[in-house]
């Protein structure tokens, strides 16, 4: 869920940032393959907690592009939520994957025979 101000940014063709957005880090200049460098900035809404990314092209002077990540903390992994907000991040006292206790993760298998040695 987003607040009313974030909803307005989502529905607008040319979003204007609202007063509740706070920068999370210094702007980063990235150079995507085959494109000119862009300036990327991360913001979080202090009202609803939505994460936003603003991408702008300083050379063109066009309107910046705003991307709402909602509660995700990373654009590359939309399901990643910060550890403080995620109930799944709380320890449960059991292994995170289906693995028997005491069994090594990379147990050798006899599936492939050893390669012969060359002299």
| pLDDT single digits (tens) 1-55 | 789 999 999 898 888 889 999 999 898 988 878 888 889 999 999 999 999 999 9
pLDDT tops 80 at residue 70: yes
pLDDT bin (cut points 50, 70, 90) of residue 81 is low
Tokens of 58: 């300083």
pLDDT, residue 88, reads 47
pLDDT bin (cut points 50, 70, 90) of residue 93 is very low
pLDDT tops 90 at residue 86: no
Residue 5: closest CA among 50, 39, 38: 50
pTM greater than 0.85: no
Phi, psi of 39 (to 5 degrees): -100, 125
> How many CB atoms lie under 10 A from the CB of residue 5?
18
């Amino acid at each position: 869920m987003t607040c009313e101000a974030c909803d307005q940014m989502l529905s607008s063709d040319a979003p204007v940032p609202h007063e509740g957005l706070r920068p999370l880090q210094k702007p980063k200049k990235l150079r995507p393959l085959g494109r000119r460098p862009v300036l990327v900035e991360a913001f979080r809404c202090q009202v609803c907690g939505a994460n936003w990314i603003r991408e702008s092209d300083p050379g063109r002077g066009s309107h910046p592009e705003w991307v709402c990540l909602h509660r995700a903390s990373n654009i590359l992994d939309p399901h990643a939520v910060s550890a403080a907000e995620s109930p799944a991040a709380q320890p449960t006292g059991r292994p995170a994957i289906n693995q028997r206790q005491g069994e090594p993760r990379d147990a050798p298998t006899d599936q492939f025979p050893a390669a012969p040695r060359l002299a």
